[in-house]
Structure 1
Amino acid sequence: MRRGRGDLINAALPDEVLMDIFARVESKSGRDACSLVCRRWLRLERASRRAVRIGASGTADRVVRCLVRRFSGLRDVFFNERLPVSASPPRSPPLANANCGISSETEELESESSSLSDAGLVVLAEWCTQLEKLSLIWCSNITSMGLKSVAQKCMALKSLDVQGCYIGDNGLIAIGDYCKKLEDLNLRFCEGLTDSGLIGLVRGCGKSIKTLGVAACTWITDMSLEAVGSHCPSLEVLSLDSEIIKNKGILSVASQCPALKVLRLQCISATDDALLAIGSNCASLEFLALNSFQKFTDRGLSAIGHGCKRLKNLTLSDCYFLSDKSLLAIASGCSELTHLEVNGCTNISTFGVESIGRSCPKLLELGLLYCQRIGNSALAEIGRGCSLLQALHLVDCFSIGDDAMASIAHGCRNLRKLHVRRCYEIGNRGIISVGTHCRYLTDLSVQFCDRVGDSSLIAIGEGCPLQRLNVSGCHQITDIGLAAIARGCPSLVYLDISVLQSLGDMALAELGEGCPELRDIVMSHCPKISDVGLTHLVKGCALLQSLQIVYCPGITSAGVATIVSGCAAIRKVLVEKWKVSARTKRKAASVLSFLCVDL
């Protein structure tokens, strides 16, 4: 930077160029380092900051005053009062989650504790007039008065999230009157709102609204959705969860919002007529999630298949009256489908999934959850027709076994993620086939698949570059299988080996030697693991951040002390309270969590 006594950088570069450089530094630690070079860099780096996140640390209003004085260029402010102090790194200053780098006022701020109030919002609005994105998550003390101050001062606002805030109608109407650029609005769990507030907002700024989320708003009815349909022609994303809204509101949005691309619905009072309108009018629809629908049938979903040719992502959850006819209609009409999840739709069987395999060659992700009528031939057809498949999720699919896994392994060699839970017919033969043929697999979970043993892990260790592994409840797995993973998967970062009765210290020693990248380990209910194994693990896994070791009788207070003293990056240790010594509590109270206080 210097040649002799000359400061080449500061002399040659104007403020604007330095600020642009600071804005391109992605990490907070890097920006903090820049701010320490000299006073000019500190001033410019502060002015270039655009985003802050604030949790429930200190007195929120005073934190806001500190922030706006130091960072005058804020565009994105995020509050979440359900984020605890421990959400930030435990050994960093309590205000670190605000990204402000302030520590001198820490003790004073922590001496009081209160929620963000309207006074804090007034200060924010006065100083941050160019604010574009504001998130107020579960800020229970915010009222219409605070929201009005934001509306009047921050007219460039584009995104507003007031999830869990008990704001009234007047504040929302003010946003509509002043914030004509508003594009994204989240009103989930805003219990104080009525139709008057939402109707007033869309009448004021509905033309710019692209994304709207409404959930558990007791007083929002079809009248609001009719207004959305009338005033929001650019609406692209709608998330709606309501027991009150019926067909009328959905029909209005479907018929008057031609740009709609994403639709998430959980409206138990809606019927086939709503889906018929969506299929007839929403030709641009790409993402559809239907949850807990009890009044529509194959007739409604068939309309989606016939009309929404661009559909790429479909989720069907707890839709009890759908049958294979629905999936056949989707397969026939939506050849661009890339993601499909069928969850708890008890009338869908093998034939429906087979139709997807035959007609949707672009499928990338498939989830079959609690689908007990789907058998091996369904996945055989997926293996033959969906060679691009990258992720497969199976939960409680009791009729799917090794033949299905072998079909997937042979046909879907791009598979990256395989999650299987409580599929008791899947065993070593199927998983060995995956390890042999799926050379890109990085994420494997076979929870409580009690036919999976060491030979499966040996094949996976030899063939797959795993980064995440969950074998909890696979009681046939021993040290031999984990040793194969440790030797073959050096990039492993997450491991769940809980409820493995035969696993011992040798496995931990192998992991410590072979998996230096490990960050998160769950190994509860492992009776043969002891302090000796933990010592070997800690020596090799210097990056370890979280560890769960409850119900491991061989682990004592000495083992817990080894973890907190030997892992500089540790953030969370879940253990029985009685296993932690007083000295360890004093040294690492912020990283300790207790499952059962009274044990």
Structure 2
Amino acid sequence: FWQVLLSGVIVMRPEDPLTFLEEKLREIMEKGLDAVVWYMCIDLSLHPELKRISETCLSTVFGLDGEQLMTEELYAKAWNFYSRSLMKLCLTRWIRYSVLRMNKRKRAKQQVAVAEVHYNVHILRLIVQKWSTWVQIHKEKVALAMNRVQQIFNQGYLNAVLKAWHAEAHRSLETKAYFESLAKESQTGCFETNDLSVRHKPSNLPEEALLQVFHFVNLDDLARCAQVNQTWMLLTQSGSLWSDINFSSVRNKVQDQTAVNILHKWRPYILRLNLQGCSSLHWPSFKRIGECKNLQDLNLSECQGLSDESMRLISEGCRALLYLNLSHTTITDRTLRLLPSSFPNLQHLSLAHCRKFTDKGLLYLGSGKGCHKLRYLDLSGCIQISVDGFRNVANGCSGIQDLLLNEMPALTDRCIQALVEKCQQIMSVVFHDSPHLSDTTFKALAECKLVKVSIEGNNQITDSSFELMSKNCPYIRHIHVADCQKITDAGLKTISPLKHILVLNVADCIRISDGGLRPFVQGSSGAKLRELNLTNCIHITDASVTEIGQRCHKLTYLNLCRCENVTDAGIEALGSISSLVSVDLSATSISDMGLRALGHHGKIKELGISECKNISDTGIQEFCKGTKYLERCYISCCPQLTDEAVRSMAFHCHRLTAVSIAGCPKMTDSCIQYLAATCHYLHFLDVSGCIHLTDKALKHLWKGCKRLQTLKMLYCRNITKQAVLKYTAKLERQEHNDADPPSWLGYDRDGSL
């Protein structure tokens, strides 16, 4: 009878199916199961109108012969067909109904979602309106407070100006009265000798002290000092001041006439002469150099006017010469031929980047008496030298102790082997940018008792070279192997037993980690180490830095630049190194806490924290409060720093000589005003990328930083070219452009990060 109930529910579609089923069940129980038919639960109004089918039609439908009669099986078959058709119809209607209800629910759900979004937007609009109102009120309060602070500052500043003006006016009155009294005394003839001495004596410093001061000024300043008074003029004529003449400090001003006059007047006293970069000097000056019979140290580097003929004029009289620098000049084999005969006592020779002499010229070094006393030789950048050239050097200068061969991409192991065959007294070697040297070079140098090794930019040197140093160089003190990619922790472990290492530089050796550095620090040289450079050793962590703080008590220089795994925990351990004066923590993960701990040290003179994104004004303020000796500070690319950081530096660190705030977009003219007001020893400043600086900043520097020599102002679009020409004309070097900051600085032309 379940088919009866299902048919009733499908066709009748009652609002309460349960009540409907209960009623029909009671009806079936009353009538009995024998009276159950499939349509008894369907209202009579919904019954289809059935037509009686005649027997002839039935015969046609069921394919009966004329003599066949309807059977029970045929009726059952007809009944089943009709039932299935009816059920299919009912199910189709029910599915259609269900889909309709589902669509209604879906539309209702979408409408609810739209209403919810509308409600949220409405609530957000109300919140933004209230927040905007609060911000406006806050801005007004801040503006009122700033106006009040500005009024107080202006009043204080005005009081200070009036006080200073009053003091100056009082001094002027006293000076005027003093000179009036002098005039009266001169008229009455009552002028005493003591008054004259007071009149001409500019200070109470003794002459010996003034002479020591004059030793540190350049020629321009010395000439100005001579014009102060008669006493100073006589002091500037002292022969001891002219034993060391440095024309390089005024290279852009000195001319032949000036140089000739000075050299001629002071030729008996001159011992050291520096003409580096003096491109305006020619043969008259070089001829006067030949008259300086006592000259011992001559620097002619970058002198464009120097030629072989000029060197001939010099060589005629300077036979006492010990040190000669001819780097970056155009001398040829003719000059090298003069050296052995003209300078028999020569000990120091630099031919760096001289490209016009040949292997034959080096052969002259051993001709005649030869340069057998030569101890220092610099052939950096002389790419024309072959193996034969080095063999010629070895034959003529077997006593060489210091050898520099930088920037020689064609330098090979054979060149060093040819040199070391006879030059076995070499103690110091420098091979920067010589990529073809290998462990064979250090095998050849095994016979030399090396004290200093410096090699950079080489991918052939391996840990085997460190093993050779450990075995053959027990007294080595300086190891520089920067950017040597094949050096690993095993190499550092190998040299850990050495007892005299003072300097270790493994910058850009990216395979170095705690596993090698900690055993080295714990080794024999850890307690004696003075300088340690770990730049870009990305696997170094706080564990190694802590070990350094515990063991390296004599360390003065530490570079952890780009050691990104170093954090505040490691930096705090450095506070126990009382000798530390220079530390570079650029691009590390330190924050204000680590900087505060480092500030308690109190003796740091040089600090680098460029690209430290976690440093804020608070960290700089805390560091500067504990450090009064800071001289060089580099805080480039710290976009979160503001004028307050520079204000703290200027207030606490008056000895600053070099400052870099490049890439700090929040800096304004106020920070430059702070520096100019107190940092009078400043000679280097980099403000590149400080987009808010204007011409006022240059005016402050022009007034306050009289010793400034180098100023970088790249990407400063608010500084005009007119101001640059006006206020930086006397600087030795300045760089400026008004282009937009590049993308690598991390912010746009408006300072937005």
Q: How many residues align?
A: 502
Choose which of 466, 474, 484 in structure 1 pairs with 2:580.
466
Q: Tell me which moved more, 564-573 or 498-507.
A: 564-573
Deviation at residue 529 of structure 1 after TM alignment: 2.3
Unpaired runs of 5+ in structure 1?
Answer: 1-32, 85-113, 148-170
Residue 143 (str. 1) matches residue 275 (str. 2):
no
Secondary structure, in 3 states, of the residue corresponding to 1:215?
Answer: coil
Corresponding residue number in structure 1 for 2:625: 513
Q: Tell me which moved more, 254-263 or 583-592.
A: 583-592
Distance 1:572 1:459 in 2: 31
Distance 2:484 2:518 in 1: 19
Deviation at residue 561 of structure 1 after TM alignment: 3.2
Distance 1:453 1:378 in 2: 26
Distance 1:372 1:514 in 2: 39
Check 1:496–1:262 CA distance in 2 against 1; reply closer, same or farther (3 A cut): same
Check 1:292–1:566 CA distance in 2 against 1; reply closer, same or farther (3 A cut): closer
Corresponding residue number in structure 1 for 2:634: 522
Contact 1:46 1:71 in 2 (8 A): no
Higher strand share: 1
Structure 1 residues 156-171: aligned runs within 5 Å: 171=286
Check 1:569–1:222 CA distance in 2 against 1; reply closer, same or farther (3 A cut): closer
Deviation at residue 288 of structure 1 after TM alignment: 0.6
Corresponding residue number in structure 2 for 1:596: 715
Distance 1:579 1:553 in 2: 7
Q: What are the superposed Cα offsets for residues 365-386 of structure 1, whole Å, 9 maximum, x if unpaired?
A: 11112211222211211212x2
Corresponding residue number in structure 1 for 2:203: 36
Choose which of 268, 290, 298 in structure 2 pairs with 1:130.
268
Deviation at residue 303 of structure 1 after TM alignment: 4.2
Corresponding residue number in structure 2 for 1:377: 490
Contact 1:182 1:205 in 2 (8 A): no
Choose which of 457, 480, 498 in structure 1 pairs with 2:571.
457
Check 1:582–1:250 CA distance in 2 against 1; reply closer, same or farther (3 A cut): closer
Check 1:65–1:223 CA distance in 2 against 1; reply closer, same or farther (3 A cut): farther
Check 1:318–1:588 CA distance in 2 against 1; reply closer, same or farther (3 A cut): closer
Distance 1:440 1:34 in 2: 46
Structure 1 residues 205-354: aligned runs within 5 Å: 205=317, 207-218=319-330, 220-241=331-352, 242-254=354-366, 256-266=370-380, 267-330=382-445, 332-335=446-449, 337-354=450-467
Contact 1:183 1:209 in 2 (8 A): yes
Distance 1:186 1:571 in 2: 25
Check 1:64–1:392 CA distance in 2 against 1; reply closer, same or farther (3 A cut): farther
Residue 118 (str. 1) matches residue 256 (str. 2):
yes
The amino acid that maps onto 2:237 is S
Distance 2:222 2:323 in 1: 33
Deviation at residue 552 of structure 1 after TM alignment: 2.2
**Structure with max Cα Rg:** 2
Contact 1:435 1:462 in 2 (8 A): yes
Deviation at residue 584 of structure 1 after TM alignment: 5.6
The amino acid that maps onto 1:272 is V
Contact 2:409 2:434 in 1 (8 A): yes
Deviation at residue 394 of structure 1 after TM alignment: 2.2
Which has the higher relative contact order, 1 or 2, with Cα contacts under 8 A spaced 6 or more apart? 1
Contact 1:35 1:45 in 2 (8 A): no
The amino acid that maps onto 1:142 is L
Distance 1:399 1:48 in 2: 50
Corresponding residue number in structure 2 for 1:73: 238
Check 1:269–1:127 CA distance in 2 against 1; reply closer, same or farther (3 A cut): closer
Check 1:556–1:287 CA distance in 2 against 1; reply closer, same or farther (3 A cut): same
Corresponding residue number in structure 2 for 1:28: none
TM-score normalized by the length of structure 1:
0.74
Corresponding residue number in structure 2 for 1:552: 664
Distance 1:347 1:583 in 2: 53
Corresponding residue number in structure 2 for 1:91: none
Contact 2:627 2:653 in 1 (8 A): yes
Distance 2:328 2:426 in 1: 27
Contact 1:492 1:518 in 2 (8 A): yes
The amino acid that maps onto 1:457 is I
Corresponding residue number in structure 1 for 2:480: 367
Structure 1 residues 182-201: aligned runs within 5 Å: 182-201=295-314
Higher helix share: 2
Distance 2:428 2:282 in 1: 37
Q: Tell me which moved more, 349-358 or 179-188.
A: 179-188
Contact 2:651 2:678 in 1 (8 A): yes
TM-score normalized by the length of structure 2:
0.60
Check 1:321–1:208 CA distance in 2 against 1; reply closer, same or farther (3 A cut): same
Choose which of 543, 555, 559 in structure 1 pairs with 2:655.
543
Structure 1 residues 422-433: aligned runs within 5 Å: 422-433=536-547
Corresponding residue number in structure 2 for 1:479: 592
Contact 2:267 2:292 in 1 (8 A): no
Residue 446 (str. 1) matches residue 567 (str. 2):
no
Unpaired runs of 5+ in structure 2?
Answer: 1-199, 719-753
Contact 1:65 1:120 in 2 (8 A): no
Q: What are the superposed Cα offsets for residues 225-264 of structure 1, whole Å, 9 maximum, x if unpaired?
A: 1221344332211111322222112222146211110011
The amino acid that maps onto 1:286 is Q
Contact 2:630 2:653 in 1 (8 A): yes
Q: Tell me which moved more, 307-316 or 179-188.
A: 179-188
Contact 2:218 2:249 in 1 (8 A): no
Contact 2:411 2:436 in 1 (8 A): yes
Q: What are the superposed Cα offsets for residues 516-574 of structure 1, whole Å, 9 maximum, x if unpaired?
A: 22122111211222334444444433433443223223433334433433556555554
Contact 1:366 1:392 in 2 (8 A): yes
Corresponding residue number in structure 2 for 1:400: 512
Distance 1:287 1:367 in 2: 15
Check 1:49–1:122 CA distance in 2 against 1; reply closer, same or farther (3 A cut): farther
Structural RMSD (CA): 3.5
Distance 1:34 1:353 in 2: 63
Check 1:585–1:435 CA distance in 2 against 1; reply closer, same or farther (3 A cut): same
Deviation at residue 302 of structure 1 after TM alignment: 2.6
Deviation at residue 513 of structure 1 after TM alignment: 2.2
Contact 2:666 2:692 in 1 (8 A): no
Distance 1:52 1:513 in 2: 31
Deviation at residue 70 of structure 1 after TM alignment: 5.8
Contact 2:292 2:318 in 1 (8 A): no
Distance 2:279 2:463 in 1: 48
Corresponding residue number in structure 1 for 2:468: 355
Deviation at residue 212 of structure 1 after TM alignment: 1.9
